Amino acid sequence: MNVEFGHTFLYEFVTLFVVLDPVATIPIFLAVTGGLSRVQTLTVAAYALGVAFLVLLFFIAGGQLLLDALKIPMPAFQLAGSLVLLLFGLQMVLGRVTDEAAKVPQGASLLERAIYPLAIPGVAGAGSMLTVVLLTDNNIRSVGEQALTVGILMACLSIFFALFALSNVVFRVLGKSGVEIISRVFGLILASIAVNGLVTAIKMSFGLT
């Protein structure tokens, strides 16, 4: 039981951490917080991660209900979601220019800086929204297991906050090329997870073992 729990925890943590891709979000964070004080910078980080958590929690709580209302079976959603994740992973492997989107309007408030493009789609993007729905399938996951996913999400976002707090140091150490390399490695891992999801969805759709 402990081995199974450890495997589930590790699988979900790696999946969420990779799809959230905190390292690739650092250039966006540095861009939207340029010229701000240390306190303001941390406030933007807290706002962004809080908004991202609420958005993803909505998909954890209501994503399955929305699928049921639209009469979309989970295997079909998993197949579509895995395809999107595969494309997302390939995009990361091929190189993502994340700082291009970080053009903050003059006079933007801290909350405005935090919401777009940092919280959405920087942290809570399409890939992470699909991932949390797939990880909390009501048909096969208990409430306790879904609560575990929420806890893992919170742990990942806590790491985000630590990285944002140390963003200047991280970017100075890694450099833009280092950030791109790590992002591409994460993309390869995510693409592998997506392919595994595709195989599972196809088996579920056709009743294969």
Q: What is the pLDDT of residues 153-172, one digit of tens each?
A: 999 999 999 999 998 888 78
Q: What angle do CA 148, 149, 152 make, to 5 degrees?
A: 90
- Domain-wise residue ranges, the chain: 2-206
Instruction: Please report, rounded to a whole number, the percentage of residues in the chain having pLDDT higher than 90.
Output: 22
pLDDT in tens, 94-136: 765 444 445 666 778 899 989 987 888 778 877 788 889 888 8
Tokens 């991280």 -> residue: 170
For residues 110 and 154, what is the distance between their CA atoms, to the nearest angstrom? 22
Question: Residues 136-156, buried b or exposed e (16+ Cβ, 10 A)?
Answer: bbeeebeeeebebbbebbeeb
Q: Mean pLDDT across the stretch 19-33?
A: 80
Q: Residue 152 to residues 16, 90, 143, 198: CA-CA distances in angstroms?
A: 8, 24, 14, 23
**What pLDDT does residue 97 have?**
44
**What pLDDT does residue 209 have?**
58
